Amino acid sequence: MSPGNHSARRPEPAHRLIDAAFGRPRGPAGTVGGALMARLNATEERWAVDRAALRPGERVLVVGPGPGVALARAVAAVEPGGRVVAVDPSATMRRSAIRRCAAQIAAGTLEVRDGAAERTGCPDAGVDAVLSVNNVMLWDRPAGFRELLRVLRPGGRMVLIVHRHVLGIPPERLVTEATGAGFGGVELTLRERRVLGPAVQMLLHHPGH
């Protein structure tokens, strides 16, 4: 085997472990990954809820909440009368979010269910706001942007936050892709953090009224 072949194959196990911990969390690695995300990403999760400026009575879709550290904050912001639905394809993460938010689920103000950015199970124009933190790099992005635009009501908004270092593409490309899918009024900012480097933050609008 040539050294080149050897080094080309070497990242595979590490990549699989990272995917099992953070990308599509599953098994023991997913449990550890979920605990780490709950600590390290809580600030961004809170930023997303606050940036969306949620109001009482609103319907909110959260995509890829992982352990769900800010779901209770989103529910509190839309009470009374509002409701939050969270979709995540990882059964390990859904279990964690359901445990963390048992009170809100029992009260009927939160539902945590199987889904993804590309398949939310929400009706057309069914939500006022969409939140996504640290998962856009895992989507089929054209399909994800199309689906999230479909479920937003005209004039609704989406907040998308992601670690700059895991995005894998220039942040400006997200703007191009979202605009291409039909979003309007897209604002892009970089937010500095003490640890983990800057975060990309986007506010996007459904163009209708």
Ligand X SMILES: C[S@@+](CC[C@H](N)C(=O)[O-])C[C@H]1O[C@@H](n2cnc3c(N)ncnc32)[C@H](O)[C@@H]1O
Nearest-approach distance from CB 38 to ligand X, in angstroms:
7
Least separation in angstroms between CB 22 and ligand X: 4
Angle at 202 between CA 145 and CA 187, to 5 degrees: 105
Closest distance of CB 55 from ligand X, Å = 22
Tell me phi and psi for residue 69, to 5 degrees.
-65, -25
Closest CA to 71 of 61, 81, 80, 58: 61
Q: How far is the CB of 79 from ligand X (least distance, A)?
A: 22
* Separation between Cα atoms, residue 87 and residue 5, nearest integer Å: 39
Q: Using CA atoms, how far apart are residues 36 and 196, in angstroms rounded to an integer?
A: 13
Smaller CB separation from ligand X, 28 or 57: 28
C-beta closer to ligand X: residue 109 or 134? 134
Of 138 and 178, which has the nearer Cβ to ligand X? 138
Smallest distance, ligand X to C-beta of residue 128, A: 19
Among residues 123, 62, 59, which one has the least CA distance to residue 88?
Answer: 62
Beta carbon nearer to ligand X, 76 or 143 = 143
Residues of the shown chain interacting with ligand X in the complex, contacts defined by CB under 6 A: 22, 24-25, 37, 41, 44-45, 63-66, 88-90, 93, 116-118, 133-135, 138-139
- Quote the distance between the C-alpha of residue 204 and its chain's center: 14
Q: Could you tell me the two tokens for 90?
A: 């990882």
